[in-house]
Structure 1
Amino acid sequence: MTQPFIFCHMLISIDGKITGKYMNTPEGEAAGDFFYQVAFGEKPFYKNQGWLSGRKTTDDNFTMYKEPVLPESFEAVPAGDYIIETGKPIYYISIDPSGKLGWEKNTITYQDTTATVIEVLTEKVSDNYKAFLRSLDIPYIIAGKESIDPKQTVEKLQRHFNLESIMLGGGGLLNWSFIEAGVCDEVSLVVAPVADGSSDSPSVFENGSLSGDKAVAFSLEQAETQEDGTLWLRYKVKK
């Protein structure tokens, strides 16, 4: 079985930040519209079957830091993955190692795109939380003992959900962990011609590894400018 095509597609400021006040400027909003069209629009460049984000990104944009309403009693939860048919052509894949996200339904909506949620958990997640996901018809996979294993995540997403193209959508720790693990093929950066100078906003890549720093090289495949000053850069990851 071949590995799915994994591309990291991010909207960034001119100084490499993935969140901040720059996003609410006319320049940031125009770049955001272009970012959406590249991976989600009517004629997207990428065949995006599902996009993968970390817990904080999910809380910031969809679950809004709500506490999960866990059942007081529940039937015994079978070990392993929970795979169900969803009927949606695209998935939102949320990395949730400890089982903390407070979902209220099994879909999310981003502009004109509605996607079914898939949770990626570790073995340390409680049966109580798994029962909570099952009650909402949210499928989940187990990919790692204490922390998420990127290779196992990608393999299970392909095997259980027939995903051949998956987008990495942040945050920086998640993006870098997949690049560091050697499972990311391409990086797509939509650069808004604006910055806000924030020193505490996360960057497109952040190293949270305990194994130390490791540099990764990229080869430029495309550089394209838009009339509004937005820059689109595509890089292949050198493995």
Structure 2
Amino acid sequence: MKPYIICHMMASIDGRIDCDMTERIGGNEYYKALEQLACDSDLSGRITAAMHIALPEPFHTDNPKQANQSSFYKATEAKGYSIVLDSKGKLKWPGNNIDGKPMLVIASEQVAQTYLDTLCRQNISWITTGKEKVDLTQAVNIAAPFVRLIILQRED
């Protein structure tokens, strides 16, 4: 059984990514609707996560050996997850949860193995799939046994 995926997004007319847009337009309609959806898991892209969640300095490694395979690591059993797409493994994390939900990072197979090893040490779940970029269909198939409902959250 695949999870239900709800896309709850806000987009700018010019298409630029601007994660502070919700604060400038006034009102809390976006967040009220998000709260009413009451989804088990949420998903953010790399830019949103970099602005609101990740540490300011990027992840660096001296060992660029790539994962080169579709795989996953489930660090924590939970009702829901805070899912972040980080295709190349560029973000560093201050902890292993976001707003009380354990993290799940989805990356491509080009991600450095040392990035995945770091996530394991931090007790952060991860999925790698897709040769050059994340294969979202396959990521959903891999996540399906442990993720029931996802809200795709994007503020751009």
Q: How does 1:1-239 map to 2 (within 5 A)?
A: 2-11=1-10, 15=13, 19=18, 23-25=22-24, 28-39=26-37, 44=38, 48-68=39-59, 80-86=71-77, 88-109=78-99, 114-159=100-145, 161=146, 163-170=147-154, 202=156
1:51 to partner: Cα distance? 1.2
Contact 1:59/1:65 (CA < 8 Å) preserved in 2? yes
In structure 2, the residue matched to 1:190 is none
Tell me which of the two structures has the higher relative contact order, counting C-alpha pairs closer than 8 angstroms and 6 or more residues apart. 2
- CA deviations on 1:29-51 (whole Å, 9 max, x unpaired) are 42244133223xxxx4xxx1211
Secondary structure of the residue aligned to 1:155 is helix
Letter in 2 for 1:37: E
Secondary structure of the residue aligned to 2:43 is strand
CA distance, structure 1, for counterparts of residue 5 and residue 30 of structure 2: 21
Q: Percent identity?
A: 25
Tell me the TM-score normalized by structure 1. 0.54
Say how many residue pairs are matched.
Answer: 150
1:158 to partner: Cα distance? 0.5
1:157 to partner: Cα distance? 0.8
CA distance, structure 1, for counterparts of residue 128 and residue 21 of structure 2: 36
Letter in 2 for 1:59: A
Contact 2:107/2:129 (CA < 8 Å) preserved in 1? yes
Unaligned runs of 5+ residues in structure 1 are 172-201, 203-239
1:68 to partner: Cα distance? 2.9
RMSD: 2.8
1:67 to partner: Cα distance? 2.2
- CA deviations on 1:144-202 (whole Å, 9 max, x unpaired) are 1111111101111103x1x222111126xxxxxxxxxxxxxxxxxxxxxxxxxxxxxx4
Secondary structure of the residue aligned to 2:28 is helix
CA distance, structure 1, for counterparts of residue 126 and residue 56 of structure 2: 20
Unaligned runs of 5+ residues in structure 2 are none
- CA deviations on 1:119-152 (whole Å, 9 max, x unpaired) are 1111111111111111101111111111111110
Structure 1's 5 and 68: CA in aligned 2 closer, same or farther, altered over 3 A?
A: same
1:99 to partner: Cα distance? 0.7
**Divergent runs of 4+, >3 A:** 15-22
